[in-house]
Structure 1
Amino acid sequence: MSNQSNEFGEHEEGKIPGVLNLCAVTDGEVMKIEDVPDELFSQKMIGDGFAVMPSSQEVFAPVSGRLIEVADTKHAYYIETHEGIKILIHIGIDTLLLNGEGFESFVERKMLVEKGQKLASFDRQLLIDRGFQPVIPVIILEHDSVLSLEVHPIKEAKANESIALTVHLK
């Protein structure tokens, strides 16, 4: 990706220092993206990141930024950070096929969201009963400023508290 201006202003090469920590988006087990039971995610075809096998039915923003996309079916959310890094939160595997059934969204496209803000809720049991995996991949889309990702697997992560991923930046 090129360094372009975004909705927050101009992004300059080398201006992003340090790290970006992403918290667990829901309570549950934080796992490596390679362990997601779907090749699109496990083979990192969209990007790298982590996933949470939820024990909760609420999903929160792992970072602050602007919602650049909210799926009409309420199962996927794209947040762009102030640094221009785009993050996908995808609730469940193949849940697009539910056409929004079992999902409730609390945000809209173009909204500014704060880290820890509630994005959505979903009916975990409905997903399971319909044969869908409830796992929630959180993907960092490719960006020039990302050096590496460090996943922190946690058996009993707490939403908004447990750091699930550290993104090392240029």
Structure 2
Amino acid sequence: MQRVITVLIVLSLLVMVGFSETSEIPVLDEVQIEIGKDAAFQSEVLPIVEGAISKEYPRIEKFNEDATLYFDRNQVVFLIDKENSKTNNIKKELQEKLGEKVKFKKAKHNPKEFTAKQEEIVNFIGEMNIASSAGYNHQTEVIDVKAPLNDEQVQALKDKFGADNLNIEITEGAPAIPW
């Protein structure tokens, strides 16, 4: 099954790249090769990860109250906020089945609360009549915010939500309106 998925991924990359005018087989660039490797890795481990989580948490919302996960190249990284028997059982099973392919870290923030905070940030910026985007970045454990803000608005965000919790990128767009 793993080999079939890998072959399908490589074939789809070849189709995306296309053939050159001389009908030579295209050479995949490093990015395309890495995407294929990442997809193959995820298709290998995801059923195992999902199985371990669903044994302990029939509803994913409950899992997100205690932990979250992300993929970092050839590793599944779990951020555990609330260590308990369920997260310990997941950790034990996945360490046995995946070994070096899984890593467990203590989360800096509760994943559910931090995910909800991104909506609060968008609403707060929306009250300034500014379009924005915000997303919980699992790898850096901060909320990435993109908006055309001025210095005063950036400071208001930092004051309300904590400077250490935010990665603010000032974007071009409608000028930030002082408020």
Q: Under a length normalisation based on structure 2, what TM-score does the superposition of the two structures give?
A: 0.22
> Which of the pair has the greater relative contact order for Cα pairs under 8 Å at 6+ separation?
1
Judging by fraction of residues, say which structure has more helix. Answer: 2
Q: Under a length normalisation based on structure 1, what TM-score does the superposition of the two structures give?
A: 0.22
Larger Rg: 2
